[in-house]
Chain A
């Protein structure tokens, strides 16, 4: 099946620093790619997504580009804030024999932003 590898954390940054969280994937076919965020004590929220090669997903100042040639979907933000402290999960849609496509997640990267 398909799988996702993302950089291990924790990542600690100062406010206004540049953020990159690396994500690479292994897939047959052309999955959709996602970034989810989990704030302390909450469930996961969809942050952004891309459905085909060269698509760029963006939301709340975060961006990620679907790179088929490098099988990557790295998350970036130009200037992080304390409120961005959370766990970030990269995910892809994983086709099953039944035709369904549940999401498969990476292990998560914890980001801490200090003032």
Chain B
């Protein structure tokens, strides 16, 4: 079974802090994704990566950056956290673009105070 692991289930950070959300997958998948989930808005794509050191903006990239130094690890960075970034963050991976089935981690609930 594919396993996607997010480093924290819950995080509380202060406004202005730099925040790192870490995600690791163990199935040698090419693609990795970061989504945020908000009530009434569903899942929205922040960034994705299709190879090491490669990244592509999703639909709501503002206020975020990402890093993929190794194939199995994909980090989401909030350069200066703000209260409107309080949300559930979901990491996912998929094998290839032609096989877009995504496998998800359990999520990180981030609260910015």
Contacts and interface: CB of A to CB of B under 8 A. Distances in A.
Contacts, number: 62
Contacts of A34: 101
Nearest to A43: B104
A99 B50 CA distance: 10
A29 to B, nearest CB: 13
A42 interface: yes
A46 interface: yes
B107 A43 contact: yes
Contact of A46 (B50, B98, B101): B101
A46 B102 contact: yes
Interface in A61-115: 89, 93, 96, 98-108
A103 B98 CA distance: 12
B89 to A, nearest CB: 11
Contact of B42 (A98, A100, A101, A108): A108
Contact of B105 (A36, A43, A108): A43
A44 B104 contact: yes
30 contacts: A1-B59, A32-B100, A36-B104, A43-B4, A43-B104, A43-B105, A44-B90, A44-B92, A44-B102, A46-B102, A46-B103, A49-B101, A93-B100, A98-B50, A99-B97, A100-B31, A100-B48, A100-B56, A100-B97, A101-B98, A101-B100, A102-B45, A102-B58, A103-B33, A103-B100, A104-B59, A105-B42, A106-B42, A107-B42, A108-B43
Interface of A: 1, 32, 34, 36, 41-46, 49, 89, 93, 96, 98-108
